[in-house]
């Protein structure tokens, strides 16, 4: 059973489709990373999952239960950490957590225990009686994470948990997330930095212009990314003819004429590339050069997500 599942989820702001036909399935206990450039619809997706935004159409299932009138109840199974951190002036760290614990209606004696446990978990134990506004950015981020945990949710939605953190704080955040994963929680986090998620997640989904481009276990995605090539083919004969042949081949995502050559985005290993060349030759296309251009992982990722927004 999926902890979080969406079926044809859509969200439109005016004429802009922020999220389009999103089908997401995150199994329980998995650290799932949502990658995409800014404006791809990551935050919109997470806000819909947190019940803060109504989908234009489509369905969300939390632990197998469809979200509709009961979304207030289902919110109790979800902890949400927004990509910004709201500070209440004049509140102490423990009061901040106490406030959110009260919002979830946790009784007094349990509240006290939960707060000290959480402060230990996020390593803010000695900051218990400090004012929230005096915390550093990394500490605030961890406190914000702690606030999403006061009701011991099964599912955590973290929007850009590592953004704006220095390397040290980033490492601390990563360790914290690993710990949560070890506790058996399902974590969905978003980022626009691929490497950030690669070290952390069990599975990733790549989102681009509101659509899920690729989704699956990290190894599979990594393989797909490694298999993605951009070929530059110099053709001496009719360029349009070659373009037409190439675009019909399996694994070819995009063919674009550049000067007197063709740039081809292609997914497949070296054998598949060789097959491609063979097809061209068999069709009497005169090929002067056949070479791979981009090998950089980041660049390939951007290609995969068409790179139109980034």
Partner 1 sequence: MTARSEAAKPGWVRLPLGVNPIIVKELRSRMRGVRAFATLTGILLFMAAASYILYQLALASTRYTGLPISPQIGQALFTGLVFLELLLVCAVTPAVTAGAISGEQEKQTYEMLMATPLRPASILSGKLVSALSYVFLLVFAAVPMSSLVFIFGGVSPRDMVKALVLLIVLAVMFGVIGLFYSALFGRTGRATVVSYLTVGLLLFGPLFAAMATSILLQTQPPRWLLVPSPISALFSTISSVANNPYGNPLYYVFGGLFLGIDMPVSQTSIPRPLYHYSLPFYGLLTLVLYMITMRLVQPARRWRIGWKNLAAALLILLLFSAAVGFAFWSTTDRYEGAGLFSATPTPFMDLPGVVPAPAIIEPAVPVDAPTPTPNPGPVDGEPVGLQPNNRLVQDAAGIRGY
CA–CA dist 82, 202 (Å, integer) = 22
Size of the site for partner 1 (CB under 8 A): 37
Note whether 24 and 60 are within 8 A (CB): no
Q: How far is the CB of 37 from partner 1 (least distance, A)?
A: 22
Query: 178 — phi, psi (to 5°)?
Result: -60, -40
The DSSP call for residue 98 is H
Q: How far is the CB of 79 from partner 1 (least distance, A)?
A: 8
Of 24, 31, 34, residue with least CA distance to 4: 24
CA–CA dist 94, 32 (Å, integer) = 30
Q: How far is the CB of 72 from partner 1 (least distance, A)?
A: 6
Q: Residue 113, interface with partner 1 (CB under 8 A)?
A: no
| Touching partner 1, residues 115-174 (CB under 8 A) | 147, 151-152, 154
Cβ proximity to partner 1: between 143 and 225 the closer is: 143
| Touching partner 1, residues 68-87 (CB under 8 A) | 72-73, 75-78, 80, 82, 84-87
Cβ proximity to partner 1: between 156 and 197 the closer is: 156
Cβ proximity to partner 1: between 53 and 294 the closer is: 53
Cβ proximity to partner 1: between 15 and 72 the closer is: 72
What is the token pair recorded at 49?
């999952």
Q: How far is the CB of 91 from partner 1 (least distance, A)?
A: 6
What is the token pair recorded at 89?
């002036």
Handedness of CA 261, 267, 271, 275 (dihedral sign): negative
Q: Residue 56, interface with partner 1 (CB under 8 A)?
A: no
DSSP-H helix ranges across the chain: 42-49, 71-74, 93-103, 108-121, 137-147, 167-182, 194-198, 218-227, 239-247, 270-282, 297-304
Q: Residue 183, interface with partner 1 (CB under 8 A)?
A: no
User: Can you tell me which of 14, 105, 167, 184 binds partner 1, judged by CB under 8 A?
Assistant: 105
Residues that bind partner 1 (CB under 8 A): 47, 50-54, 72-73, 75-78, 80, 82, 84-91, 95, 98-100, 102-108, 147, 151-152, 154
């Amino acid at each position: 059973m999926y902890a979080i599942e969406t079926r044809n989820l859509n969200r439109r702001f005016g004429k802009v489709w922020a999220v389009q036909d999103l089908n997401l399935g995150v199994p329980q206990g998995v650290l799932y990373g949502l990658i995409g450039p800014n404006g791809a619809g990551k935050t919109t997706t997470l806000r819909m999952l947190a019940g803060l935004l109504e989908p234009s159409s489509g369905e969300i299932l939390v632990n197998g239960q469809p979200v509709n009138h009961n979304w207030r109840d289902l919110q109790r199974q979800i902890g949400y950490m927004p990509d910004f951190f709201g500070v209440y002036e004049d509140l102490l760290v423990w009061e901040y957590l106490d406030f959110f614990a009260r919002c979830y209606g946790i009784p007094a004696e349990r509240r006290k225990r939960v707060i000290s446990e959480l402060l230990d978990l996020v390593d803010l134990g000695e900051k218990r009686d400090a004012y929230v506004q005096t915390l550093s950015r990394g500490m605030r981020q961890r406190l914000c994470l702690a606030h999403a945990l006061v009701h011991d949710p099964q599912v955590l939605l973290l929007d850009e948990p590592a953004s704006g953190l220095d390397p040290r704080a980033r490492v601390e955040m990563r360790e914290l997330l690993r710990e949560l994963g070890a506790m058996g929680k399902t974590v969905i986090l978003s980022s626009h930095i691929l490497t950030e998620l690669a070290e952390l997640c069990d599975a990733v989904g790549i989102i681009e212009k509101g659509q899920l481009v690729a989704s699956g276990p990290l190894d599979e995605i990594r393989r797909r990314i490694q298999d993605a090539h951009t070929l530059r083919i110099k053709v001496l004969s009719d360029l349009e003819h070659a373009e037409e042949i190439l675009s019909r081949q399996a694994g070819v995502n995009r063919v674009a004429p550049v000067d007197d050559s063709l740039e081809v985005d292609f997914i497949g290993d070296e054998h598949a590339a060789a097959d491609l060349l063979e097809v061209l030759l068999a069709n009497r296309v005169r090929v002067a050069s056949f070479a791979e251009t981009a090998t950089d992982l980041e660049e390939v990722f951007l290609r995969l997500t068409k790179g139109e927004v980034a």
